Amino acid sequence: MSEYKEFLLEKEKIDSMHDQGFTIARVIENLSGAFVHFQRINDKGEKEIREVHIKMAEARKYFSTRLMMKK
């Protein structure tokens, strides 16, 4: 798969999480990419946490930009 297609898949994952009402709670970066932890409060008042592994540099820039835009 081309790097651009991989970036698009990771961007779609990030956008999907935001569309579902999740926000970025924590980011752990290492040599294999970034582990982005998303969280939201569901209808029952419970905290939901999901993790997405982002490998592509462009996708890491994308979620960083989205995070900065929120602040």
In tens, the pLDDT along 7-63 reads 999 999 999 999 999 999 999 999 999 999 999 999 999 999 999 999 999 999 999
Is the pLDDT score of 67 beyond 90? no
Between 71 and 54, the more confident residue is 54
The one-letter code for the residue type at 40 is R
Ranges of each domain in the chain: 3-70
Q: Which CATH class is domain 3-70?
A: alpha beta
Strand order in the sheet with 47-54: 23-30, 33-41, 47-54
Sign of CA pseudo-dihedral 64, 20, 26, 5: negative
Q: Report d(CA 6, CA 20) in Å as an integer.
A: 21
Is it the case that residue 70 has pLDDT exceeding 80? no
Question: How many Å apart are CA 12 and CA 6, to the nearest integer?
Answer: 10
